[in-house]
Amino acid sequence: MQAMVLKALRTPLEWTTLPDRQPGPGQIRVKVSACGVCRTDLHVIDGDLPDPQLPIIPGHEIVGRIDAIGSGVDGLKMGDRVGIPWLGHTCGTCPYCRMQRENLCDHPEFTGFTRDGGFATATIADARFAFTLGEAGSDVSLAPLLCAGLIGWRSLVIAGAGKKLGLYGFGAAAHIIAQVALWQGRSIFAFTKPGDTVTQDFARSLGAIWAGGSDEAPPELLDAAIIFATVGALVPLGLRAVRKGGTVVCAGIHMSDLPSFPYGLLWEERQLLSVANLTRQDGIDFLRQVPDMGIVTHTTTYRLEEANQALADLRAGRFDGAAVLVP
């Protein structure tokens, strides 16, 4: 197998040939056909996340087909198309796993961070954490749903049922969740970097009722806002944009420090929450509805060996939507 491997933090991934791997008990081997590139991959490479394990193959938005099955795997067969997300394994016994909050597991494994991911021609996954994807939709179009879609979905659910929804940072996740929220009958207010009229136009083209800079106030108070950008200074701006009792959800795994702000922004039962990881139930709930939602993912594809270019383009904001690597 070939892979783009992170051998040291803050260095380019290296094209590497590795011995083919065999799935152990409860595992599947997946021939990767597409793997999305997520901002979390940048955090892994930059060393922003605790306890990095190196060398590691990044990538946690994997679409592929099963080409080997370990012992004791139920419900999956050779050739099935599956998606492998960020949550790669949980312990099943800690208090969080037992209270149906496995996203907070005390002993988790994360695809592309603590276990090898999908910037590769093949990967090994815990079969219980892979989602069957069926045959509708192309591999490339589905890949961004495995994290941008799933974490976005969890954020949307936690944001509540309010009709007027703000999205701060209009990248891969927001462009998917905007479509989901519109399908649900909500109104979207898109906030981008000030002056980024290209992305504001992109948001309007997807159906946003309003798009502007994050330094602007929306034309009316919002019921909820989801912050996908990694900028802590957006938190007080989001709180300022929501009504009494409104909710602000921070969806990123990493964020710059929050500035101090007047308590008045939180007062009147506004809520500020973060979203961590996903549960398998999130994936089941989201992916079951995907065929009805009519989501069109906007993707820029790169060859697997171009992963460093894809990451650089993501960092620089050179594309709208999501980048996807194809082996």
In the chain, DSSP assigns E strands to: 2-5, 14-17, 27-37, 62-69, 81-84, 87-89, 109-110, 122-126, 131-132, 164-168, 187-192, 210-213, 222-227, 242-250, 271-274, 299-303, 322-326
Least distance in Å: CB of 163 to Zn ion?
27
| Cα angle, residue 172 at apex, residues 85 and 206 outer, rounded to 5° | 130
Cβ of residue 147: shortest distance to Zn ion, in angstroms? Answer: 3
Nearer to Zn ion, 31 or 101 (CB): 101
Q: Is 322 in the site for Zn ion (CB under 5 A)?
A: no
Cα distance between residue 32 and residue 82, in whole Å: 10
Does residue 103 bind Zn ion (CB under 5 A)? no
Distance between CA atoms of 197 and 316, rounded to whole angstroms?
16
Given candidates 97, 130, 178, 278, which one binds Zn ion under the rule CB under 5 A? 97
Q: Which is nearer to Zn ion, 180 or 211 (CB)?
A: 180
Q: Which residue of 4, 5, 64, 90 would you call a contact of Zn ion, by CB under 5 A?
A: 90
Binding of Zn ion by 326 (CB under 5 A): no
Q: Is 124 in the site for Zn ion (CB under 5 A)?
A: no
Rg (CA), the chain: 19
Distance CA 141, CA 63 (A): 10
Q: How far is CA 307 from CA 15, 17, 57, 165, 304, in A?
A: 9, 15, 11, 33, 6
Number of other residues whose CB lies within 10 A of the CB of residue 9? 12
Minimum CB distance to Zn ion, residue 317 (Å): 17
Asked if 145 is part of the footprint of Zn ion (rule: CB under 5 A), the reply reads no
Rounded-to-integer distance, Cα 184 and Cα 153, Å: 12
Whose Cβ is closer to Zn ion: residue 94's or residue 209's?
A: 94
Place of tokens 């602007």: 216
> Site map for Zn ion, 21-40, x if CB under 5 A?
-----------------x-x
How many residues of this chain interact with Zn ion, rule: CB under 5 A? 8
**Minimum CB distance to Zn ion smaller for 68 or for 94:** 94
Nearest approach, Cβ of 110 to Zn ion (angstroms)? 9
Residue with Cβ nearer Zn ion (38 or 322) = 38
* CB nearer Zn ion, residue 94 or residue 293: 94
Q: Does residue 104 touch Zn ion according to CB under 5 A?
A: no
Smallest distance, Å, CB 112 to Zn ion?
Answer: 8
Question: Which CA distances in Å does 44 have to 41, 53, 93, 130, 198?
Answer: 5, 9, 27, 21, 28
Residue 209, judged by CB atoms within 10 A of its CB (0-12, 13-18, 19+), counts as middle
Least separation in angstroms between residue 247's CB and Zn ion is 22
Closest distance of CB 1 from Zn ion, Å: 22
Identified binder of Zn ion from the candidate list 42, 94, 266, 293, rule CB under 5 A: 94
**Neighbour tally for 157: CB within 10 Å:** 14
Q: Of 319, 208, 223, which Cα lies nearest the Cα of 270?
A: 223
> With respect to Zn ion, which residue has the nearer C-beta, 239 or 255?
255
266 lies in the site for Zn ion, by CB under 5 A: no
Q: Which is nearer to Zn ion, 6 or 97 (CB)?
A: 97
Binding window for Zn ion (CB under 5 A); candidates: 8-16, 22-30, 89-97, 193-201: 89-97
Applying CB under 5 A, which residues contact Zn ion? 38, 40, 90-91, 94, 97, 105, 147
